[in-house]
Amino acid sequence: MEISTEGAAESVSPVVLPSAPSSLSPSRASDFMQCPLLYRFRVIDRLPEKPSEAATRGTLVHAVLERLFDAPAAERTAPRAKSLIPGQWDRLRESRPEVVELFADDPDGERLTRWLGEAEQLVERWFGLEDPTRLEPAERELFVEAELDSGLKLRGIIDRVDVAPTGEVRIVDYKTGKAPRPEYSEGALFQMKFYALVVWRLKNVVPRRLQLVYLGSGDVVTYDPVVADLERVERKLHSLWEAIREATESGVWRPRPTKLCGWCDHQAVCPEFGGTPPPYPLPVRVAPPVAP
């Protein structure tokens, strides 16, 4: 799971003056590839978005799996992990009060109970995919940032980093959804290759393995990158960044309609749905006059 550290839309957040993008994370890169206008709404306009049950459940499960490794190896059991859920839910509500509104219309707590039960099922399924008693992560929820030779800054948060006694690095990411069909797997692998690129540029070490753990379907997808993979990702990110810079300076952010539009929180201000975007908050480059 990747939580962007730049331009993330929050339901409740302090007033922040708009500014031009200064770095790129996997989620924001994916936003721009999906729809440039969505990128603008999230990064530049910082429009609020409602919390969702699925995303909040994912945050909760990630917190539980991270905290489980605080316990000695022999105590990392499924019952212990599930026992962490109520406390981590309390912490999440304290740190992000907006998630409380998810169950505002659930006075009897039935939906909340069912939702917490689904989180328990995801946590329990993990134990059939990995054995935490045999794992000693080198890092958990690791914030990474690297600046490429071009000046482009890349950043993100890696769920788990394992380092073998021989020094080989494995990057692990938990997904609480189901594994995509093979023809749609490149999106998730892009995120992992992004992380591998950052680690390579920071440590001069190409991770031995990238591992996606899909708790929703019980699948584990692995990929062993090579330098050529990471160089391709770097070129792609440079192209993306140039397109983002051009849109930032021109103020032209075009919508890209897809099936995902049905889940977008910004339909009311999207031209594809008859809306009008808010006034562009950054200076716009004025094109030079055309000679007669």
285 sits in the region (left: phi over 0; alpha: psi -120 to 50; else beta) called beta
Measured in whole angstroms, the distance separating CA 85 from the mean position of its chain's CA atoms is: 21
- What are the angstrom distances between the C-alpha of 127 and each of 79, 122, 158, 252? 11, 9, 20, 48
Q: What percent of the chain has pLDDT over 90?
A: 87
Report the pLDDT value the prediction gives residue 287, as an integer from 0 to 100.
61
Report the pLDDT value the prediction gives residue 4, as an integer from 0 to 100.
42
Phi/psi of residue 226, each to 5°?
-125, 170
pLDDT category at 181 given cuts 50, 70, 90 is confident
- CA-CA distance, 238 to 148, in Å (whole number)? 10
Q: What percent of the chain has pLDDT over 70?
A: 92
Average pLDDT over residues 22-41: 96
DSSP string, 154-192: EEEEEEEEEE-TT--EEEEEEESSPPPPGGGTHHHHHHH
* pLDDT averaged over every residue in the chain: 92
Average pLDDT over residues 280-285: 91
Q: Which amino acid is at 278?
A: P
Cα dihedral: 53, 56, 58, 63 (round 10): -150
- What are the angstrom distances between the C-alpha of 208 and each of 50, 135, 185, 189, 223? 38, 16, 19, 14, 9
- CA-CA distance, 36 to 48, in Å (whole number)? 17
Helix/strand/coil for 238: helix
Helices and strands in the chain: count of H runs, count of E runs = 8, 5
Average pLDDT over residues 216-234: 96
Residue range 57-113, pLDDT digits in tens: 999 999 999 999 999 999 999 999 999 999 999 999 999 999 999 999 998 999 999
**pLDDT at position 292 over 90:** no
Average pLDDT over residues 141-153: 94
Cβ(57)–Cβ(177) under 8 Å? no
**pLDDT at position 134 over 60:** yes
Query: In which residue are the tokens 């730049």 written?
Result: 6
Query: Among 2-6, 196-200, 274-278, where is mean pLDDT lowest?
Result: 2-6
- CA-CA distance, 269 to 292, in Å (whole number)? 38
Residue range 226-279, pLDDT digits in tens: 999 999 999 999 999 999 999 999 999 999 999 999 999 999 999 999 999 999
Report the pLDDT value the prediction gives residue 9, as an integer from 0 to 100.
40
Average pLDDT over residues 185-212: 94
**pLDDT at position 114 over 80:** yes
- CA-CA distance, 249 to 21, in Å (whole number)? 11
Report the pLDDT value the prediction gives residue 202, as an integer from 0 to 100.
94
Report the pLDDT value the prediction gives residue 291, as an integer from 0 to 100.
60
pLDDT category at 13 given cuts 50, 70, 90 is very low
- CA-CA distance, 265 to 50, in Å (whole number)? 7
- CA-CA distance, 21 to 244, in Å (whole number)? 8
pLDDT category at 177 given cuts 50, 70, 90 is very high
Which candidate, 57, 134, 109, 120, places its Cα nearest to that of 84?
A: 120
pTM for the predicted model, two decimal places: 0.88
The residue among 178 and 286 whose pLDDT is bigger is 178
Q: Which residues contact 207 (CB under 8 A, 6 or more apart)?
A: 169, 170, 171, 195, 196, 199, 200, 225
Report the pLDDT value the prediction gives residue 7, as an integer from 0 to 100.
43
Measured in whole angstroms, the distance separating CA 179 from the mean position of its chain's CA atoms is: 16
Report the pLDDT value the prediction gives residue 19, as an integer from 0 to 100.
85
